Amino acid sequence: MVGSAIVRLLKNRGFDNLILRSSKELDLRKSSLVKKFFADEKPDVVVLAAARVGGIQANIDHPAEFLHENLCIQNNVIHESYSHNVKQFCFLGSSCIYPRECPQPMKEEYLLTGQLEPTNEGYALAKIVGLKMVEFYRRQYDFHGISLMPCNLYGTNDSFDPLHSHVLSALVKKFVDAVDDGITSVTVWGTGEARREFMHVVDAVEAILFFMENYDSSEVINIGWGQDISIKELANLIARKAGFKGKLIWDASKPDGMPRKCLDISRMKGFGYAPKIALEEGIEKTIGEYQELKERAAKE
């Protein structure tokens, strides 16, 4: 999702010298392949958008893979970027790096001040190691890397797979499918009390390019809206936008995850960046994109 959005933005800005590889073409987990890629292509600028990602259940079921695979990807790409004299590097983290009981909104300096959320600890640990690796390589080798920590992202090319999707796209699928199939009730995980912050991927990649052009420091910068919404409010909003008029059933036996994740974006705003796509508009876009995916699949 993020990688394809970066490519679209760069092409729209007139860049025609992009060096692109899909995960099938280049397995970033394998150090020998990554080393050969950098030696052959010699990129000047690198944005590391690749990661193993997933929702709560995927993180619960596969913590070892989320830790190991993301560490491999990060270690290989960051080290080879340094070794091959990359001029600019951007590492993308996640708001899950902050402690489970973090004061709200979450300031960058709150990192490593408390216990992580157990349901995504493997992924969070990997992302923390990644941003620290960028910081240490800058300190020791003058490596020009920055680290951006976005809130929950959604949008074009998001996953709607029930096992791998995040909450917003999962809810879009549930309610659109329910309307299409004439289902009168939808079950949603958790109590609905947890709160999350959402940013459309278009805004996120605009922020990436903005900070790569205007920022050069190892200090982490949060990327988001600085506003959150409860999962219950989110579900009701998506249901309304999808035209679902049935009943929502909350399965409290399922985990809520981190109680609240709302970023303090003072540092981001101080540099002059602000997102544009409001949540309601972004949800409408995502519903439309999922409906188009279903229509195409039905014709194949």
List active site positions.
Answer: 123
> How many Å apart are CA 131 and CA 69, to the nearest integer?
16
Residue type for position 64:
A
Strands 152-154 and 221-223: unpaired
Q: Per the structure block, which two tokens stand in for 282?
A: 């972004």
DSSP class of residue 106 equals: B
Nearest to 111 by CA among 214, 215, 212, 221: 221
CA angle 199, 204, 208 (to 5 degrees): 155
> How many Å apart are CA 286 and CA 134, to the nearest integer?
33
Residue type for position 296:
R
Which stretches of the chain are DSSP H helices?
Answer: 2-12, 31-41, 56-61, 63-83, 121-141, 167-181, 201-214, 231-242, 266-270, 279-299
Work out the widest C-alpha separation in the chain, in whole angstroms.
60
Residue 141: Cβ within 10 Å count = 11
